Amino acid sequence: MKGATLITGGSNGIGRAISLARKALGEDVVVLDRVPPPAGDGVTYIEADLADFAGLESLIERITIEHEVLRLVNCAGIALIAPLADLSIEDMRKTMDINVLAPAILAKTISRTMREVGFGRIVNISSRSALGRPLRTAYSSSKAGLIAATRVWALEMAGTGITVNAIAPGPIETELYRQANPPESPMTQEVIASVPVGRLGTPEDIAFAADYLLDERAGFVTGQTLFVCGGLTVGSITG
C-alpha cells in the first residue's frame, strides 16, 4: 500500500528526516512548508502558510487530486517561549492555530481519501513539553491538545483502516533547538545531563519512530503517544 506521504514542516529538522526516510522507501513525498527543502531531496515541494485557513483546505483538496495521500505527518509547529505574566492572547491564539487547528484541517481533508481507499496513517508530532515545562504555557498547551486530538481522531476513524498516533520528542538536536537552547547555557547543559541515555536525540531518531507508526503492518496501534525522549519521561526531569 504505497500511496503518497504528506509532511508539513518537511524542509528541515525532524520533518526533513522523516521526509528523507520515506523517500528512501520509494514513496511519493509531498512537503508543505514556507521554505523549500535542500535541492536534491527529491520531494514535491509546495509552499504553504498553515495559518491561512481560508486557503489551506482547498490547497489540500488540490493536492489529493494529484497525489493519493495515504500517510500524513503533521510536523510543522511553532514554540513561543514566555512566562505566563507576559503571554498575550495573540501569542496563544497563533500557537494553537499552527499546532492544533492546522493539523485538524489537514487530517479532516486528507482522511476523506484514506476512507475511500480503506487505509491511512496519521502521525502528529507533539512534544514531551506536553507534560508541562516552564515558560511554555502556549506551546505545552497546544502540544497536549494535539495529543488529545490524536486520541479523539483515532476513535472516530477506528474500523476504517486509518490509524492516528502521536510522537512526543524530547530534546532533539536541530537548528531550532540550538537557537532556543544555546549550548553554553547552564539550563541547556542541565537538560542534557538529565537525559538518561546521556545525549540529545537526533531527527533520525524521530524518523525511525515515525516509520514504525506509518507502516502498513502497524494497523493495531492507534490513539497512542510514543515518547522518544531518551528516557526523560521515566527519569528525573529537569528540563
Active site residues: 139
- Give bridge partners of residue 6 from the DSSP assignment: 30, 72
d(CA 177, CA 172): 7
- Dihedral over alpha carbons 54, 56, 59, 61 (to 10 degrees): -100
Distance in angstroms (rounded) separating the CA atoms of residues 135 and 101: 22
CB 13 within 8 A of CB 203: yes
CA-CA distance, 138 to 58, in Å (whole number)? 28
d(CA 12, CA 220): 30
Strands (E), 93-186: 120-125, 162-169
Q: If we measure between CA atoms, which residue out of 169, 164, 158 comes closest to residue 224? A: 164
* Alpha-carbon gap, residue 167 to 226, rounded angstroms: 5
Say how many residues make up the chain: 239
166 to 24, 123, 127, 155, 227: CA distances (angstroms): 22, 5, 9, 14, 9
